Amino acid sequence: MLFNSLTFLIFLAIVLSLYYRLGRRGQNIMLIVASYVFYGWWDYRFLGLLIFTTLFDFACALKIDGAAEPGLRKRWLAASIVSNMTVLGIFKYYNFFASSLQTALAGFGVHPGFPMLHVILP
C-alpha cells in the first residue's frame, strides 16, 4: 500500500475515524492492529518477524516496569535494544558485511562462500 494511493487514503480515513471514537486502550490496540495490516499489505511473510519483535519488546517493557533495581532495568532495556539491532543488522547489513569480508579474504587467497540473503528489506 503506497502512501500516495487511493487505498492508503481509504485506510487512513478508517483508522482515523476509529481512533477518535475509541478510548485510550482501544486506540492503542487499534493502532497496533492497523500497523500490522499496513505492514502485512506489503508482504505478509514478514508479519511473524514484526509480531515477534513487538511481543519481545512488550515483555521487556513489563520486566522493566516490574524491576525494583536500576541494574535489572538496564539489562532488560539492553536485551530489547540488542534484539532489535540484531534484526536490523541481519536484514539490512548482513549482505554488505558478508560481501566485504569475502572481498577482503579474497585478497589473501581465501575464497569463503558466505551465503547471501535474497530478501527484500522488511
Question: pLDDT digits over 61-81, tens only?
Answer: 999 999 999 999 999 999 999
- Judge if 55 and 102 occupy the same domain: yes
How many whole angstroms separate alpha carbon 122 and alpha carbon 105? 29
- Judge if 1 and 57 occupy the same domain: no
Q: Domain range for residue 59?
A: 44-110
More confident residue, 118 or 16: 16
CB within 8 Å of 2: residues ≥ 6 apart: 8
pTM assigned to the model: 0.75
pLDDT score of 41 more than 60: yes
Angle in degrees, 0-180, between the axes of helices 47-66 and 24-42, rounded to the nearest 10: 150
- Judge if 72 and 106 occupy the same domain: yes
Residue 68 falls within a domain, yes or no? Answer: yes
